[in-house]
Structure 1
Amino acid sequence: MDVLFSSAGLISLLTLTLMEIVLGIDNIIFISIVASELPENQQTKATRIGMLIALVVRVGLLFGITWIIGLTEPVFTLMEHGFSGRDIILLAGGLFLIAKTTSEIHEKLEGEEEDTSDKPKTSDALAKVIFQIVLIDIVFSFDSILTAVGLVPPEQIIIMIMAVVLSMVVMMLFAKNVSDFVNKHPSIKMLALSFLIMIGFLLVIDSFGIHVEKGYVYVAMAFSLIVELLNMQVRKRSKRPVQLRNSKIKKGFDA
């Protein structure tokens, strides 16, 4: 515990927490998309339960850090590439993310909008959403945990656990705001779905040993988001009624 309150420990904690938050951006987007399938009164419940279960799973994975490191050893070879346990998990997670997101885009563009006001979702729907949240969080956890191992020695696992807990608290605090914002603006939601397809594709090619620095991807995502936010402001202003600038002239017309 003493290592946590040392200067080196606090720096490691801050670095890991920021890294977990940045790597969790795509996780929050996915959660907001999946939770929107439920009635509004169940979305917050599903998000919190899913993220709490995911937190427990992440901490459990940290305690099994030796096992996770062992997952980098090749299990079988295909097309001259040795697939490890980590690669298999990333491949399955990436394909799941692409399939789920593509289905969501199809439903938004081609499918008929269902009226959920008179059709409350069953507990099965809630459990399904929670399961998807936990599943994709586990997939995202492997990369962040392996990255954390490179920054903090495995024997300092307390720092990793604290970083995961703090980052998850931050994500839970902002998850609803992100979800409300994404669901309120259809163009932002479509942009978010496009981001998820890109993240899924990155997971797939990473499983084949082709690593793309995520920093470049996040910069591109941020740039696209800024452009869309500017477009939203332009569209909002174009709908405003014309206002007279000279108050005296305006008063004269009113008279």
Structure 2
Amino acid sequence: MDGISALLGDPAAWAALITLIVMEVVLGIDNLIFISILSNKLPEAQRQKARRIGISLALILRLALLFSIAWLVGLKAPVFDLGITGPPGAHGEPAFETQFSWRDLILIAGGLFLVWKATKEIHHNVDPTPNEDVFDTAKASLGFSAAIVQILMLDIVFSVDSILTAVGMTEHVEIMMVAVVVAVAVMLVAADPLANFINRNPTVVMLALGFLLMIGAVLIADGFGVHVPKGYIYAAMAFSAGVEALNIFARKRKARGKAQHEDAIRH
């Protein structure tokens, strides 16, 4: 209790908490986009349940990792070395790492999975199969289980990346726990509106899949030691989302004007 009281009275602890909450919320956007797209593939009655389970699993995984910080930090230790020298980068050092840790392998595997999944979904949206909206009981059950497994796989990747980033920002587990709980609560509140918005706007689905492709590529690069500043990634995502918002607004105005014109002709 004394330790918590001391943290409550420490301005630096509050600054770290606010910074971590913002960071966790931003990092959670990737996870939330994936959960939204995947849950929208399920029958409507199962979508909210899948989102709730996926976000709850994210919270459980993050808290479990916080209680295993010593083991988690150990994931950054190299486990093998390819024994080759990469081409020189801008400052003369190798352009990519040849030593790989478990963290690197997790990020690479997660990135490859995201690229594969996003590519598959893009193909499905461009060339949909006949009767794609028809679900029978067996397919719905299998689809729900498969969706939860895929959400769990990406939850692991995003959780490892999120907690390792948090560990580098503060040494107080209590602050990290509060930041994680607040960030996941925000995800829980935003999950349904975001998923419904994506579902109502087909062009947003394609944009979100493009985000997943980019995030997957960044995870793979990070696994190979090529660190792309997250600010650039999220700035690009925000710019693209802004352009798409303008397109949606323009389409709605055009549709409203057309409806008013047709109504005027009828009367």
Structure 1 length normalisation: TM-score?
0.90
2:58 aligned with 1:18: no
CA displacement at 1:113 relative to structure 2? 4.6
| Residue in structure 1 matched with residue 162 of structure 2 by the alignment | 144
CA displacement at 1:3 relative to structure 2? 4.0
Relative to structure 1, is the Cα distance of residues 108 and 160 closer, same or farther in structure 2, using a 3 angstrom cutoff? same
RMSD: 1.8
Distance (Å, rounded) in 2 between the aligned partners of 1:21 and 1:99: 25
- Asked if structure 2 preserves the Cα contact closer than 8 Å seen for 1:105 and 1:190, the reply is yes
1:210-235 deviations in Å (ceiling 9; x for gaps): 00001011101111111111112222
Deviates more, 1:209-218 or 1:120-129: 120-129
Deviates more, 1:208-217 or 1:141-150: 141-150
1:66-110 deviations in Å (ceiling 9; x for gaps): 111111111111244101110000000000000011111111111
SS of the aligned residue for 2:226 comes to coil
SS of the aligned residue for 1:68 comes to helix
Percent identity between matched residues is 49
- Asked if structure 2 preserves the Cα contact closer than 8 Å seen for 1:50 and 1:131, the reply is no
| Residue in structure 2 matched with residue 88 of structure 1 by the alignment | 105
- Asked if structure 2 preserves the Cα contact closer than 8 Å seen for 1:51 and 1:134, the reply is no
Distance (Å, rounded) in 1 between the aligned partners of 2:52 and 2:7: 28
SS of the aligned residue for 1:72 comes to coil
| Residue in structure 1 matched with residue 215 of structure 2 by the alignment | 199
Runs of 5+ in structure 2 lacking a partner?
86-97
Distance (Å, rounded) in 2 between the aligned partners of 1:21 and 1:231: 26
Within the candidate set 190, 197, 222, 1:181 is matched to 197
SS of the aligned residue for 2:258 comes to coil
Distance (Å, rounded) in 1 between the aligned partners of 2:165 and 2:135: 46
| Residue in structure 2 matched with residue 72 of structure 1 by the alignment | 76
Q: Look up the equivalent residue of 2:101 and give its one-letter code.
A: S
CA displacement at 1:4 relative to structure 2? 4.0
Q: Look up the equivalent residue of 2:182 and give its one-letter code.
A: L
| Residue in structure 1 matched with residue 88 of structure 2 by the alignment | none
- Asked if structure 1 preserves the Cα contact closer than 8 Å seen for 2:57 and 2:155, the reply is no
SS of the aligned residue for 1:191 comes to helix
2:112 aligned with 1:108: no
- Asked if structure 2 preserves the Cα contact closer than 8 Å seen for 1:12 and 1:151, the reply is yes
